[in-house]
Chains A and B, each alone.
Chain A
């Protein structure tokens, strides 16, 4: 008998079906990965096992944990099971901990809720568990608060809470999605060790096939609330039967047909010795302000039609540099020139330069005004032009921009909430394209997208680069994407560019230790058929 047995589980919220007859199982000591794109029902499956489904959810079928029917267990009983028999780790370590309680109290709470034991004993046991997850007492006393820890450290605390009572089943819902690659590798290793040590079963939910391939014993692929394929990891990668699985796999490792780089062109964007400081809050009333140098003496040149990647972990100064390049913030040292002219002219944005550079941001949901129609959204950059097109010319420009990104001219009368994440990102690109910039800055522009959508957007970028003679700066934490979409790459660490070179060269033979650690930590997909 398996530890967890889900048989024919269906779930409706209201009249809307979320899960349609899911069947999967997890044995003791086994790691089972559930993968699929957003909306496939992965997380709902996990919540069903925890008995933490949202209100209004109606379930049919069976979820059995050690033979016990979870769907028919009373809430009071479930409270005894959660945390003791099943532990859960969530996606967002930054918000998964209570900010006003110490980490010691939060880990000890798991023990105190389930067992009659003295506070001191619970704290001693919490100490042991924190040691076990790699948070030693010298650096991480029980009295620490969550805000004093980094994302990876917080995720370790969440894991400590989940395993404090050595549950038989651990559910991890996208446990590393919000973390940097090097941290991700460490957390995945920790989870793997714990499963082996404790003989737990683990159900890990992730959209990232590369993460899955190095971790799980078995893989379950879901789409639209159904299991489309499942099997032992190596066997599944060796012989993918369902076209959706194949599509997912190919999209994850999607090769872009990047047009040849135009040669013999002049430098377009010149970043020369740029440093950017942020003032720190004063610790004493009348002391001089201290500063944090977020970007330190950065120089590089982007030629016309150049496709350059900028990679680095969170907090390395990528976004700060982006804002400086766009002329949104002043720099303290150095200068940024576009076509020989400064992007910021005496503290004021230089409009003549601005219209030559546009930006596409990460969040396809937050970067549009929801009250404007698409035509108005797309024409926003027109305020940079001294004489923007009007009337029929304006309509024609909108139609062209929308069609260029694979949408229809008729979409201009619609509102942004009527579009999916991928379509919104297309609209963001149309908005950047409409004034025919020479450079577009893509700031994590595909990071929030599903792999299949991401592949389409990357193709679109390659096509536009050819058609519009476009150069871009592609900023991302995702090395595999950068590798496929850029000719040159800059690696940034703690505000400095530590390595620069031809993309393939850097990936094949990284010179800097940091670059090497990034590349090593990035999870890789196995070669198809090479099982």
Chain B
């Protein structure tokens, strides 16, 4: 198991190095000069050149790449062209909202999907199954911002249980923060839960058809015991894969929900910095997202091995 983990860790480092190269050079070849963009189209050539040198844009590509990577390694992401503040600080602020939001949504989606998927699989073809399948169909079809608006309408405007948007900050207390993230987390979680429940159901149904389930029944286990003791763990692998993918999406893909709820999260930061050609911010945020995706994949790999002894040995 330790060897397996070390092997996955090595591949994590290699992926990161490769990703940083790709991100740096792709952003470099993107058209548009940040200095010219900041100064406007009518700026003097020498003013632009001065700003370029001030922003550190005149070094060679290799120098700038090394600066950027070595800076990131010690937590220094550089300085934003537009806001002239530390990128690291900007990202940290946003991450304090986006990360809890993503985790919150993921926890909700898993909490909804697991029971729903198991329930449907255990009642395959019966009304309970059809009900769950119908609901998930709806959950996938309806966009999450529509859910978001409905939630605001019902719980914020009519019932006044939650505020309609904004984030008070964690210094106002843990509960206040969680409360502010609840509606966005639900809106994000519902479509994800619908997908996850379907994956859970079909994976479990596949497992229920396996020979060892029949063996379990022949031992005297009830249908339910066989499902819980032998079915579930074998059905988890595809579900873990989807959970990993969903987390990555939730971290960066929440931009519409962030807009609906006026949350200053990572998604909005990326959007703003792209429109303002704030290359260093874009690069850093993208790198951070790539890092988190690779890290989540690493964790999912470890989870696979925890679930399935065959994978532990293959390493």
Residues of A participating in the B interface, judged by any CB pair closer than 8 Å: 50, 52, 75-76, 79-84, 87-88, 90, 92, 95-101, 109-110, 113-114, 145, 147-148, 158, 161-162, 281, 283, 285
Contacts and interface: CB of A to CB of B under 8 A. Distances in A.
Given A101-B230, A145-B310, A281-B314, A96 B211 contact: yes
Nearest to B315: A283
Contacts of B220: 79-84, 110, 113-114
Q: 5 tightest CB-CB pairs across the interface, nearest first?
A: A83-B220, A95-B211, A83-B219, A88-B218, A82-B220
Given A79-B220, A82-B219, A52 B214 contact: yes
A158 B218 CA distance: 11
B219 A98 contact: no
Given A285-B7, A285-B10, A98 B212 contact: yes
A100 B234 contact: yes
Interface of B: 7, 10, 210-212, 214-222, 225, 229-230, 233-234, 307-310, 313-315
Contacts of B310: 99, 145, 147
Contacts of A76: 222
B7 A161 contact: no
Contacts of A79: 220-222
B301 to A, nearest CB: 15
B309 A161 contact: no
Contact of B308 (A90, A99, A158): A99
A347 to B, nearest CB: 29
A187 B310 CA distance: 26
Contacts of A90: 211, 214-215, 218
B314 A98 contact: no
Contact of B234 (A75, A98, A109, A162): A98
Contacts of B214: 52, 90, 96
B281 to A, nearest CB: 35
Query: How would you classify the secondary structure of chain B's contact residues: helix, strand, loop or mixed?
Result: helix
B217 A99 contact: no
Contacts of A158: 215
A110 B215 CA distance: 10
A130 B211 CA distance: 21
A161 B211 CA distance: 14
A52 B217 contact: yes
B297 to A, nearest CB: 18
Given A98-B234, A99-B308, A113 B210 contact: no
Max chain A Cβ within 10 angstroms of own Cβ: one of B212, B225, B233: B212
B307 A100 contact: yes
23 contacts: A50-B218, A76-B222, A79-B222, A81-B220, A82-B217, A82-B218, A82-B219, A82-B220, A83-B219, A96-B214, A98-B215, A98-B230, A98-B234, A100-B307, A100-B309, A109-B221, A110-B220, A113-B220, A113-B221, A114-B220, A147-B310, A147-B313, A162-B218
B211 to A, nearest CB: 4
Contacts of B10: 285
B74 to A, nearest CB: 27
Given A95-B210, A101-B230, A285-B10, A83 B218 contact: yes
Nearest to B218: A88
Contacts of A100: 233-234, 307-309
A113 B212 CA distance: 16
Given A98-B216, A98-B230, 14 more contacts: A52-B214, A79-B220, A82-B219, A83-B220, A95-B212, A99-B234, A99-B309, A100-B309, A113-B221, A113-B225, A147-B309, A147-B313, A161-B219, A281-B314
Contacts of A145: 309-310
A87 B10 CA distance: 48
Contacts of B217: 52, 82
Contacts of B211: 90, 92, 95-96
B218 A52 contact: yes
Nearest to B233: A100
B213 to A, nearest CB: 8
Contacts of A96: 211-212, 214-215
Nearest to B222: A79
A153 to B, nearest CB: 16
Nearest to A87: B218
Nearest to B210: A95
Contacts of A82: 217-220
A239 to B, nearest CB: 36
Nearest to A143: B309
A308 B231 CA distance: 46
A113 B224 CA distance: 13
Nearest to B234: A100
A110 B219 contact: yes
A141 to B, nearest CB: 14
Contacts of A110: 219-220
Given A95-B212, A100-B308, A113 B219 contact: yes
Contacts of A50: 218
A309 B212 CA distance: 36
A62 B216 CA distance: 25
A113 B307 CA distance: 23
